[in-house]
Structure 1
Amino acid sequence: MSAENLVEISSLDFAYEDRPILDGISLQIPRGKVVAIMGGSGCGKTTLLRLIGGQLKPSRGEIRVDGQSVPQLDDEELYALRRRMGMLFQFGALFTDISVYDNVAYQMREHTDLPEELIRDMVLMKLNAVGLRGAHGLMPAELSGGMARRVALARAIALDPMLIMYDEPFAGLDPISLGIIGQLIRRLNDALGATTIMVTHDIQESLLIVDYIYFMSDGKVIALGTPDEIRASRHPFVHQFVHAEADGPVPFHYPAAPLAQELLARHAHGG
């Protein structure tokens, strides 16, 4: 494993029962970088995050994080590795029955023996980093969608992780919140000296903040490159995705007989 890469995946296959999800995936995530994994729904992006985090085991292939083979770790080793990872799953999923403060403190209390006064300082610093120190006493139900996502970011970085993984961090946000979250992801990564993997559909926001992009389709990596390389890509699927075209390799129409043929057939049967 190259010392420059925090995550290395090679020849990775994964199937749910008989249904193949990932097919021969190989990719490298360099230390200190923000890397996006993109593609249409159901192409295996979230599954890839769960494999890196050790929640799933591959059918074949290798996943190494900071030199360790994730599928070969025992429960204790995996627990120790996960302490060094921050995760933000789709929609942030805060604990609704505890305050913003306690949401961010949760992992510190769970994974460390730090005294409560030190936890307090750390929680307020994390909330300050996302601009929400003043909201520490609020309950999740009192937050807007954008604020809830920022609290989830603070929680994901609670233990200063070496690797932060985001699953659709922009989903359901208004344009202003989306821009704020994008800039925060970049700033938090650089301030912590962390490495970030982001699964997202939001191509335009991602192109502004990421260093590198992997494009997936049908369980395979079909394109990779810097934002500029991806913008200029001639690959039909990538071009359609980047330019949000309704029709292309991903068709707008569900397969059907030609419309004229169906209409004529109806008239021929006396409509």
Structure 2
Amino acid sequence: MPYRKIAAMPLIEFENVSFAYDDTPILRDVSLQIEAGQLVAIMGGSGSGKTTLLKLIGGQLRAQHGRVLVDGIEVGRLNEGELYQLRRKLGMLFQFGALFTDLSVFDNVAFPLRERTQLPESMIRDLVLMKLHAVGLRGTADWMPQALSGGMARRVALARAIALDPQVMLYDEPFTGLDPISLATVGQLIRELNDALGTASIVVTHDVAESLAIVDYVYFLDQGQLVAQGTPAAVRASTHPFVQQFINAQPDGPLPFHKPAPPYAQALGVQA
């Protein structure tokens, strides 16, 4: 599915980015670009650096080497006030929705509008109902989050994430815990909203089948490094060992099941 190219300059750009927690490398010399209108998946095993990548975009973390740019602005050089302004361009769908449990559906979606704008309540009401309608849940405006199914809660969280019409959308494992129907619904909404808003979108996910059905491009991370990339068609046809292991869920391959450790007998104190 070709994406609609809107701008020549990437909205998101990583230039030789490295990051480590203490002495543990998480990302190593990562370079990638995502343009407006493009929906990209970041795939890799647990601990490969996918969520760290999202935190670098949002400014929760700062690259130790290289540069992270959002709309041409280097995130790592921003002070607190400038970072707050940059985040107005970002929308985030958290792994399990992260709705405020003591607020109604309506108030959850209205929250960023009330916090970040000076719009009158009458306009906020119209915008909230518009976003809920976009995800098919205008009829739940007065419900509390506890009354929502898992798939419905994720869709409300998506309505909240797009409340301010962000330029960049970040999705952290948006398909986790969803039944097949809800998963397909959320996936289709992500694609449709990306096209309607013309955002640059990153989906961090383990869900191979659903992601390859909706995204324009895929990057594969392994031990903090980009090891493969390509369109969904190229990924399916790839003979790269890591890609083959990942998309076919093979237990044996470049991605080991066991982390490096001393010999098992030695760890148990067994004498040879």
* TM-score of the two chains, using structure 1 as the length reference: 0.92
2: CA distance, partners of 1:254 / 1:73: 37
Distance apart, 1:195 and its partner CA: 1.4
2: CA distance, partners of 1:248 / 1:73: 41
**Among residues 144, 151, 154, which one is paired with 1:149 in the alignment?**
154
**Among residues 123, 126, 135, which one is paired with 2:131 in the alignment?**
126
2: CA distance, partners of 1:97 / 1:153: 18
Instruction: In structure 2, give the amino acid aligned to 1:182.
Output: G
Give the unaligned 5+ runs of structure 2: 1-6
Instruction: In structure 2, give the amino acid aligned to 1:215.
Output: F
2:76 equivalent to 1:71: yes
Seen in structure 2, the aligned counterparts of structure 1 residues 222 and 138 have a Cα distance that, compared at 3 Å, is same
Distance apart, 1:9 and its partner CA: 0.5
2:240 equivalent to 1:235: yes
Identity of aligned residues (%): 64
Give the unaligned 5+ runs of structure 1: none
SS in 1 for 2:136: coil
Instruction: In structure 2, give the amino acid aligned to 1:157.
Output: I
2: CA distance, partners of 1:214 / 1:18: 25
Q: Hey, what does 2:170 align to over in structure 1?
A: 165
RMSD: 2.0
Q: Hey, what does 2:3 align to over in structure 1?
A: none
2: CA distance, partners of 1:39 / 1:204: 14
Q: Hey, what does 1:215 align to over in structure 2?
A: 220
Instruction: In structure 2, give the amino acid aligned to 1:207.
Output: L
Seen in structure 2, the aligned counterparts of structure 1 residues 27 and 97 have a Cα distance that, compared at 3 Å, is same
**Among residues 22, 37, 40, which one is paired with 2:42 in the alignment?**
37
**Among residues 162, 183, 206, which one is paired with 1:201 in the alignment?**
206
1: CA distance, partners of 2:66 / 2:30: 9
Q: Hey, what does 1:88 align to over in structure 2?
A: 93
The correspondence of residues 23-34 of structure 1 with structure 2, limited to 5 A, is 23-34=28-39
Distance apart, 1:118 and its partner CA: 0.2
Seen in structure 2, the aligned counterparts of structure 1 residues 256 and 179 have a Cα distance that, compared at 3 Å, is same
Kindly name which structure, 1 or 2, has the bigger radius of gyration based on alpha carbons.
1
1: CA distance, partners of 2:212 / 2:52: 22
Seen in structure 2, the aligned counterparts of structure 1 residues 3 and 99 have a Cα distance that, compared at 3 Å, is same
SS in 1 for 2:254: coil
Seen in structure 2, the aligned counterparts of structure 1 residues 208 and 115 have a Cα distance that, compared at 3 Å, is same
2: CA distance, partners of 1:159 / 1:180: 22
Contact 2:109/2:163 (<8 A) preserved:
yes
SS in 2 for 1:91: coil
Contact 2:151/2:178 (<8 A) preserved:
yes
Q: Hey, what does 2:142 align to over in structure 1?
A: 137
CA deviations over 1:52-83 (Å, ceiling 9, x no partner): 11111111110111111110112111111101
SS in 2 for 1:5: coil
Distance apart, 1:257 and its partner CA: 11
71-80 vs 165-174, which moves further: 71-80
2:119 equivalent to 1:114: yes
Instruction: In structure 2, give the amino acid aligned to 1:197.
Output: I
